[in-house]
A and B are shown apart, each in its own frame.
Chain A
Amino acid sequence: MSDFSSQTQPAHFSGNQKFLTKVKLLFFRNNPIANFALVIILLLLAIGYIVPIILNLDPFGTSSELLLSPGTMSSNEVYYLLGTDDLGRDLFSRLVIGARSSLNIGFFIVLVSAFVGTSMGLVAGVYGGAIDAFIMRLTDVIMSLPSILLAIVIVAVLGGGLVNAVIAVIIVSMPRYIRVVRSVAMSEMKKQYVVAAQSFGIKRFRILWSEILPNCRAPVIVQSTLGFSEAVLDIAALGFLGLGARPPAADWGAMLADARTYIESAPYLVVLPGVCILITVLCFNIVGDALRDRFDPKLGDSK
């Protein structure tokens, strides 16, 4: 109800309350599914980053006696939680290390592409004219090809390998940031406070930096969350096609590809990495959608 005047007195919190409010803010009101997804993501982070520290995982050690054996077992004082793969490597270790590498790669891709994409979007939206046209035509070119196809083309040109795959995915995922940030920048440029800033004699770059950029925070966070799942998926796909991580690296996509041959004799080898990818992507997508709902002023839950 826009007709209500808002409270005028500033609210003060003590330190402890502040922390509690922050924790509360992390979760979503009236959205149990998103909260569940958020918990799964936190769990995933814990598994990827803390479990390798606590347990002595060995994703590369082979065992000639235990090839393709499913289920929990132990032999030679090595404990196998989820069985072994075709070379007798511990599947659990490989999945955990794969989780870590997926998360690392996801974060890296999101950071770099969000940074570059936001900068380009800001420049395009604030300066307009020829720079805008150039940047937007560039994004049009990138977006006119299916992203995975373009990534394959880039990897084919640069050569295989994880680094090149990451570069390819970064390029492919930049347009989403450019477009969102540019549209935010363009609508903010029309607002009176930007005219006000100009009327202090503030230079364009400074307006871009101190007036427009803070307004891009929410949409960039949303896009980053959604972009994260896409990055994980793309890297897994490239790995599956043999264009990403090289064996013996523990990578979910590559593990899937390796296990393909044994899909009938050892289906768990295919299912488990697949489920890992599915859960990660799904949870990040759900959280991204929930964030979008929260930040979108039209849905009225922004404050």
Chain B
Amino acid sequence: MILSIKNLNIGFYDNQVYKPAIRNLSFELAAGEVLGVVGESGCGKSITNYALMGLLPSNALVTADRLELCGKKLLELNKKQWRDFRGNDVAMIFQDPMNALNPTITIEKQLVEMLSKMQKGKSGKEYRQMALKLLDKVGIPAAHLRLKNYPYELSGGMAQRVVIAMALACKPSILIADEPTTALDVTIQAQILNLLDQIRIDSNMAVIIVSHDIGIISEYADRIQVMYSGEVVESGTARQVTTNPYHPYTKGLLESLPGQGDKVPKSDLNTIPGVVIPIERQVEGCRYVERCPNAQDICHTTPPELIQISNNLSDLSRCHLRG
């Protein structure tokens, strides 16, 4: 296993008050596997990624029984080790590629600067050759012309390809993609995901992809994790979660999408009543109970555990009610 997390808790101190954000997160990820994390804004799906990158603000508190990435215990790393770790084992791409690139420097300079930090002792010409190769690899047409461009001269899709090229330069064993295609057009979105998958297969890299779009997650990911208010409420193979959802939140989410089989056009869509419980609030029972259509007494009093729901070990759901 390339990533192994057990009972991860993340919270933030706000004026000396501890506000939990991620509760009891446990999962494992193998090399070459794609994990899709889906959830609504504010459910904490990005926070885990920042923790894996060591990019949480200083008021954050991370505790875990186990938090190992590529055999390194993340909780024990110091600042310098984090820097090496980020460069070599794990890389991240973001929603807005334009923000991830320095607007005042050409693509070539940014790539060369990064490569020269990564692999020392080569000539400028060699670095430029490597940069060119990287851009070719991520499918940028006429890459030698693009090298001289500034980020603003690129389209969103091209900029995202450059960001991917930079992320790949260090040959990470795990790539975290936080809403990588949200800012892009539909056709470009498909191109970028194709590219990511090509690279994943070539280098046997594990991918964590985070999105609010269930369509993207279910088509691209092997395994899906549904987050709700700081907890994983359901996880399983793409097939399991999309065809046979177990947790009422997953069901509600899938049913609220337009284009369901029996829906007449322009008829009302199913919605989930109520609002998301604030992520920092502590409750006695299930965090979804206020919105759940078939809540029972036990749901109000006892927090449900993640339990296995099928033959497959990885199909889990956090719900008291079976079947």
B70 within 8 Å of A (CB atoms): no
User: Inside 8 A of A4's CB, which chain B residues have their CB?
Assistant: 21, 42, 278-280
B199 within 8 A of A: no
Interface size in chain B (residues, C-beta < 8 A) = 13
Kindly list chain B residues whose C-beta atoms are within 8 Å of the C-beta of A7: 278
How would residues 23 to 48 of chain B score, 1 for a CB under 8 Å from any chain A CB and 0 otherwise?
A: 00000000000000000011010110
Encode B41-65 as 1/0 by CB contact (under 8 A) with A: 1101011000000000100000000
- Bound complex: CA A4 to CA B278 (Å): 8
A8 in the interface (beta carbon within 8 A): yes
A3 touches B47 (CB 8 A): yes
Cβ of A1 within 8 Å of any chain B Cβ, yes or no, is yes
Tell me, rounded to whole Å, the shortest Cβ–Cβ distance linking B15 to chain A. Answer: 8
Interface 1/0 per residue, A1-21 and B, CB below 8 Å: 101110110000000000000
Whether the pair A1, B12 counts as a contact (CB closer than 8 A) is yes
Write out the residue numbers on chain A whose beta carbons fall within 8 Å of the beta carbon of B12: 1
Let me know if B276 and A5 touch, CB within 8 A: yes
**What size tier do the contact residues of chain A reach?**
under 10
- Is B275 touching A3 in the complex (CB atoms < 8 A)? no
Q: Are A3 and B278 in contact (CB under 8 A)?
A: no
Majority secondary structure of chain A interface residues (helix, strand, loop or mixed): loop
**Interface pair B46/A3, CB less than 8 Å apart:** yes
Shortest beta-carbon distance, B9 to chain A, in Å? Answer: 16
**Complex: chain A residue closest to B45, CB-CB:** A3
Q: Which A residues touch B57, using CB under 8 A? A: 1
Closest to A5 in B: B42
Complex Cα–Cα for A4 and B279 (A): 7
In the bound complex, CA of A103 to CA of B16 (Å): 40
Chain A residue with Cβ nearest B277: A5
Contact with B along A69-80 (1 / 0, CB 8 A): 000000000000
B42 contact set on A, CB distance < 8 A: 3-5
Complex CA distance for A5 and B230, rounded to whole angstroms:
12
Residues of chain A in range 252-271 having any CB-CB distance to chain B below 8 Å: none
Q: How far is the CA of A175 from the CA of B275 in the complex (A)?
A: 48
Name the one of B46, B47, B279 contacting A5, with C-beta atoms under 8 angstroms.
Answer: B279
Complex alpha-carbon distance, A120 and B13, angstroms: 44
B222-278 interface (Cβ within 8 A of A):
275-276, 278
> A3 CA to B47 CA in the complex, in Å?
8
Contacting residues, chain B, for A8 (C-beta < 8 A): 275
Q: Apart from A1-B57, A4-B280, A5-B278, what are 15 other A-B pairs with CB-CB below 8 Å?
A: A1-B12, A1-B47, A3-B21, A3-B41, A3-B42, A3-B46, A3-B47, A4-B21, A4-B42, A4-B278, A4-B279, A5-B41, A5-B42, A5-B276, A8-B275
Q: Could you list 20 examples of A-B contacts with CB < 8 Å? A: A1-B12, A1-B21, A1-B47, A1-B57, A3-B21, A3-B41, A3-B42, A3-B46, A3-B47, A4-B21, A4-B42, A4-B278, A4-B279, A4-B280, A5-B41, A5-B42, A5-B278, A5-B279, A7-B278, A8-B275
Write the residues of chain A forming the contact surface with B, with a CB cutoff of 8 angstroms. 1, 3-5, 7-8
Footprint of A on B, CB under 8 Å?
A: 12, 21, 41-42, 44, 46-47, 57, 275-276, 278-280
